Amino acid sequence: MELTTPSPNAGKSENKRWHVVIVNSGFGGLRAAQAFKSAPADVTLIDRRNYHLFQPLLYQVATGSLSPGEIAAPLRSVFSRQKNTRVLLGEVVDLDPVTKRVMLADGASIEYDSLIVAAGSQTFYYGHDAWREWAPGMKSIEEATNIRHKILYAFEVAERLSDPVQRRAWLTFVIVGAGATAPDAQERFSLDTPRRSRNHSARRCAAGTPAVPGGSLKEGGPFACAARCRSEERGHGQGH
């Protein structure tokens, strides 16, 4: 199957409008596209996902407080009133600044007059990419639901253990990084998770005093202390 991506100017030989291609549907791409709302230009927004993800609340998906749909907005509905903007799902694999084209993984290419690339960032494992399997990052819905699965699975295992030491091990979570998200996530572990477990499954884990879940913040940078103190000031910290 060959996928075609005609330019918005296809078939127009005269009065060709300026074509802006934006690679990104995150905060950067969204803002950039919205800035062109009244411009005499056509805008094509390309992203490998067809929804805008509100990353700051990913930790709530990871800890089971929100469902993925609550932090994702379909791009076509975001831009439904912006007539000069179209949304394309695609993974950009290359750029050719000479012919002014972006190349997609499915073999299609798209012409541009101006190009904005703001493809975000990736979780860094300090050169130890093998850690990725055991310590997922938190930048996508998939990663957040993967973390949630691991947490809920830990509760299920702990529910069936009678040894309090083993149970505590399964209910101890380590958060690497101490930016804004980590203390918030730790707060969820300390407050929300036991409450949810009392209401639903793993009753024995939450009821047994030694098994109350805890989180630890791990971070080598200068912000670690500030983040830990902030968390402890709120009265939820168990940072080590």
Ligand X SMILES: Cc1cc2nc3c(=O)[nH]c(=O)nc-3n(C[C@H](O)[C@H](O)[C@H](O)COP(=O)(O)OP(=O)(O)OC[C@H]3O[C@@H](n4cnc5c(N)ncnc54)[C@H](O)[C@@H]3O)c2cc1C
Work out whether strand 92-96 and strand 85-89 pair parallel, antiparallel, or are unpaired: unpaired
Helix (H) or strand (E) holding 196: helix 193-199
Of 8-16, 27-35, 158-166, 214-222, which part binds ligand X (CB under 6 A)?
27-35
- Choice from 70, 91, 96, 233 touching ligand X (CB under 6 A): 91
Write the interaction track for ligand X spanning residues 103-132; mark x where CB under 6 A is met and - where it is not.
Answer: ---------------xxx------------
Residue 119 or residue 229: which is nearer to ligand X going by CB? 119
Least distance between ligand X and beta carbon 211 (Å): 27
Of 23-31, 64-72, 205-213, 218-226, which part binds ligand X (CB under 6 A)?
23-31
CA distance 49 to 223: 32
Residue 7 or residue 55: which is nearer to ligand X going by CB? 55
Close Cβ partners of 77 (under 8 Å, ≥ 6 residues apart): none
Residue 99 or residue 122: which is nearer to ligand X going by CB? 122
Residue 43 or residue 211: which is nearer to ligand X going by CB? 43
Say if CB 112 and CB 104 are below 8 A apart: no
The yes or no reply on residue 147 touching ligand X (CB under 6 A) is no
**Among candidate residues 133, 32, 130, the one with its CA nearest the CA of residue 85:** 32
Residues, the chain, total?
Answer: 240
Close Cβ partners of 86 (under 8 Å, ≥ 6 residues apart): 8, 42, 43, 44, 45, 79
CA distance 167 to 159: 8
Site for ligand X in 38-67 (CB under 6 A): 46-49, 55-56, 58-59
Structure tokens at 24: 């990104």
Residue 45 or residue 206: which is nearer to ligand X going by CB? 45
Q: Give the binding site for ligand X (CB under 6 A).
A: 23-29, 46-49, 55-56, 58-59, 91-92, 118-120, 138-139, 180-181
